[in-house]
Structure 1
Amino acid sequence: MPELLLHTSGIIPDVVPDVADGYEDLPVYFDNTFVFNGEHLNIHQTLQEPHIPVQSIGHGFSGDYTLVLVDPDAPSPSDKSFSQVIHWIVTNIPYNVPKVHKVGTVIEPYLPPSPIAGTHRYTFLLFEQVSPISHFHPPAPDSRILFNVTSWAKIHNLGKPVAGVFFQSTAGKFLDNHLDTL
């Protein structure tokens, strides 16, 4: 059951307080690598924008989705003073697309994971949209740091996430930390 792992890993409550009934694991692929909940990926594996087949979500929704990727462990798991960092926001994703890749309205472009210290939990969340979101609404947040996905979802009437997955990545020798984009 996906919710149990979200509790034991601290995703609930560190990222969101709860998930929707019927919450599912979100299928995410970096190239041909399928992401399993809680799996450790090195940053080399996550450099390219992932593919996400939202059409495989099985609860019968036939509208648009919003996808968010956040890091709740920035700059480090022991010092979360930048939490949450936005790594990707895409709205208006049709329910029947085989891959979220160059589809929908990009609010924040994909920023590859780049942990500075320790092991970070990078969390994908998929929300159902009540109605299409215009290109200018919601505007991009002022900064990638200090984001709150729950508040942002509430402001934009997205409700609780219906699917998601998280993976872990650890700071290492190959570190292109992208701090200039935060």
Structure 2
Amino acid sequence: MHILPLFTLLATATAAALPLEKRTDTCSTASSSTLAAAKAAFTQAKLVPDLVPNFDPTLSVQANFNGKQVALGNSFSATETLMEPAVSFSAEPGFDPAKTKYTIILTDPDAPGPAAPILKDFLHLIISDAQPSCIASQARKTLASYQPLTPLSIAAHRYTFLVYRQPPNYTPPPSVNYLPGVRAAFDLNGYVTQGGLTLVGGNFMREGLSSTVCAITPGCTQDGKGYSV
């Protein structure tokens, strides 16, 4: 007579333990249509190959400046990007989000102006040891602190957020570009190769200076070159 209640109790206890073993199941992954849209946007914007040699995302990247979302090429003003953006991303299929870590890089392939990007890739931010947004407790490390976006042309720059999967036991490559005043001509692809990083996602936005702001900004041009002659 007591066997059924005992079985029910054991079954209930087992079910209660399952969420602890499968806690990563609550992490969402990006849909195929979302990933396809990101790949198409990067290709259309010519970030492939201007910035990265190829782009086949396996996770989606979200970024916002004071609540305004970055949305695959939408426009921002200089006043909207003064503060550091919040960056998050979805889980990556096949990788345990609790154990896999990522590096976030924000860079400008159009500095000082898209017509003559002689200072590409200008580095604005590097964060290592990031994890998907479903992991509440993270120990992210800022390697290169945020430097506000500084386009020097009315022509818009393609400011790009890239997320890379770190290899096990990752040690960030040494770089002088971590310093606040040494951000121009960052060797993005060299950094990635040296660190053994794998590109898994990205997002981007556009920002240039309005004609009014450009008129009072030293070095700003209207022809897209960045630096007046």
TM-score (ref. length: structure 1): 0.83
State the identity as a percent: 25
Count of residues in Structure 1 that have an aligned counterpart in Structure 2: 172
Which residue of 2 is the match for residue 70 of structure 1?
A: 107
1:41 to 76, 90, 93: 76
Retained in 1: the 8 A contact 2:108–2:160? yes
Q: Which has the higher helix share?
A: 2
Instruction: State the 1:98 CA deviation.
Output: 5.4
Question: Any idea what the Cα deviations from partners look like across 1:106-152, whole Å, max 9, x if unmatched?
Answer: 11101111100121000000001112444xx4223343111121221
Contact 2:173/2:194, CA 8 A, preserved across alignment: no
Structure ID, larger Rg? 2
8 Å CA contact 2:42, 2:55 repeated in 1: no
Distance in 1, matches of 2:78 and 2:187, equals: 24
The structure whose RCO (Cα within 8 Å, separation 6+) is larger is: 1
Q: Indicate the SS of the match to 1:77.
A: coil
> What residue ranges of structure 2 are gaps of 5+ in the alignment?
1-35, 220-229
Q: Paired residue for 1:158, among 197, 204, 208?
A: 197
Q: TM-score, normalised by structure 2?
A: 0.67
Partner of residue 32, structure 2: none
* RMSD of aligned Cα (Å): 2.6
> Quick one: distance in 2 between partners of 1:140 and 1:43?
27
Gaps of 5+ in 1: none
5 Å-filtered alignment, 1:1-182, equals 1=36, 2-20=38-56, 22-54=57-89, 56-61=90-95, 62=97, 63-95=100-132, 96-97=134-135, 103-117=139-153, 118-134=155-171, 137-142=172-177, 143-159=182-198, 161-172=199-210, 173-174=212-213
- Separation in 2 of the partners of 1:69 and 1:97? 22
Pair 7,174 (structure 1): closer, same or farther in 2 beyond 3 Å: same
CA distance, structure 1, for counterparts of residue 78 and residue 59 of structure 2: 25
Contact 1:65 1:92 in 2 (8 A): yes
